[in-house]
């Protein structure tokens, strides 16, 4: 996003990032290519509400591109409270700060996994959409809130392409979860341009969808990458099916039942017509999220999310790989002194 935005010569570009090293790297890259633009690196965790408010108060951003999220589906299935903290409560913090300090435009980067979600990650992103949509047009907030949904971004951090590339370079095998697994794909420039298109158009309240064409079978992508690397699939490089992971669907969807899309001036961009959610219901749900932000109780988190996202149907829940030993078992363990004796 930053590489795209600097080409439009913003008056100032504020880079807000929780991780120090990536922030250092992108700051130096942008300074080398666009040294004439004021670049401001800010270390901040969006979950830290006081810090977020202080940063917004200091810099008063006019346009906010909200890309911070935990995005790995199986990881969030095993750590659901972290999806609540970052994807839900973190989004609330930056959205509230944008209202309070007068941001004009706020674009949430969402996902096709928010549609009829089957995972904690997708459902938490749908909650983020609902919260920001409810703020749009409210009496106390002049910020225009929009969301942008798209599928897998080719070559992005943690995506399947770098993973396959590493596996091929190591001589295989290439691991695919299921022979029928399909996903929508787009390139990094396509994704970035869609976000900027959303920021520049509309009066707020929209959820934008990109026409991503036909979904692609992951196994076909694997075979193509093996072939393009100069090898023969399943001869030189094996393909192994590892099984569907926690929270994953075989097919992603683009709209919720009973709702539809409408076109925009851009031929590849549509607007999803979403149902409004009452603010009182949102406040009640967020009080629950506050109480669950460090909870190990996965079912209570799922129940809280389903108050706002009733279409959320969990799939392939993670197995309990580790169990807390019962108190009786703990009591039988030798103490340090006993072990020494």
Radius of gyration of the chain (CA): 22
Residue 215 tokens read as 């979904």
For the beta sheet containing 144-149, the strands, ordered from the edge strand earlier in sequence to the opposite edge, are 63-66, 105-109, 144-149, 207-210, 269-272, 261-263
Alpha helices in the chain, H assignment, sequence order:
2-5, 20-33, 49-59, 73-78, 80-83, 91-100, 120-135, 160-169, 188-200, 218-228, 279-291, 298-308, 327-332, 336-340
Separation in Å, CA 253 to CA 67, 184, 250, 271: 21, 9, 10, 15
Contacts of 148 (CB under 8 A, 6+ apart): 107, 108, 109, 110, 194, 195, 198, 207, 208, 210
Contacts of 206 (CB under 8 A, 6+ apart): 146, 147, 198, 271, 272
Specify whether 113 is catalytic.
yes
- How many Cβ atoms from other residues are within 10 Å of residue 80's Cβ? 28
Token code pair at residue 140? 């106390």
The tokens describing 252, both together, are 């992603």
- b/e burial code for range 3-30 (CB count within 10 A of at least 16 → b): eebbeeebeebbbbbeeeeebeebbeeb
Residue 49 tokens read as: 């509400």
Q: What whole-number distance in Å separates Cα of residue 341 and Cα of residue 338?
A: 5
Active-site residue identified among 85, 113, 144, 249? 113
Which residue bears the tokens 């749900």? 285
Q: Which residue has the tokens 């309240």?
A: 205
State the catalytic residues. 113
């Amino acid at each position: 996003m930053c590489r795209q935005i600097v080409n439009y010569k913003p008056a100032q570009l504020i880079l807000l990032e929780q991780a120090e090293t990536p922030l250092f790297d992108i700051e130096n890259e942008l300074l080398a290519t666009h040294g004439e633009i004021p670049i401001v690196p800010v270390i901040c965790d969006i979950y830290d509400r006081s810090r977020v408010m202080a940063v917004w108060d200091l810099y008063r951003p006019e346009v906010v591109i909200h890309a911070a999220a935990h995005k790995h589906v199986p990881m969030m299935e095993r750590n659901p409270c972290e999806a609540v903290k970052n994807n839900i409560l973190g989004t609330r913090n930056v959205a509230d700060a944008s209202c309070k300090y007068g941001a004009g435009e706020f674009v949430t980067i969402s996902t096709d996994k928010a549609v009829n979600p089957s995972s904690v990650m997708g459902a938490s992103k749908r909650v983020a959409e609902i919260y920001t949509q409810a703020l749009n047009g409210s009496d106390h907030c002049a910020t225009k809130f929009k969301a942008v949904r798209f599928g897998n971004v080719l070559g992005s951090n943690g995506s399947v392409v770098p993973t396959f590339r590493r596996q091929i370079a190591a001589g295989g095998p290439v691991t695919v979860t299921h022979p029928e697994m399909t996903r929508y794909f787009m390139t990094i420039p396509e994704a970035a341009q869609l976000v900027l298109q959303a920021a520049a158009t509309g009066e707020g309240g929209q959820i934008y969808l990109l026409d991503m064409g036909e979904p692609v079978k992951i196994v076909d992508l694997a075979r193509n990458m093996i072939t393009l690397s100069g090898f023969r699939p399943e001869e030189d490089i094996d393909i192994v099916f590892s099984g569907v992971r926690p929270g994953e669907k075989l097919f992603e969807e683009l709209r919720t039942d009973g709702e539809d899309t409408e076109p925009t001036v851009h031929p590849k961009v549509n607007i999803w017509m979403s149902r409004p959610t009452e603010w009182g219901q949102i406040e009640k749900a967020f009080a629950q999220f506050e109480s669950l932000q460090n909870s190990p109780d996965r079912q209570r988190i799922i129940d809280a999310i389903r108050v706002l996202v009733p279409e959320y149907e969990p799939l392939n829940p993670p197995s309990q790989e580790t169990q807390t030993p019962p108190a009786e078992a703990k009591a039988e363990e030798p103490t340090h002194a006993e072990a020494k004796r």
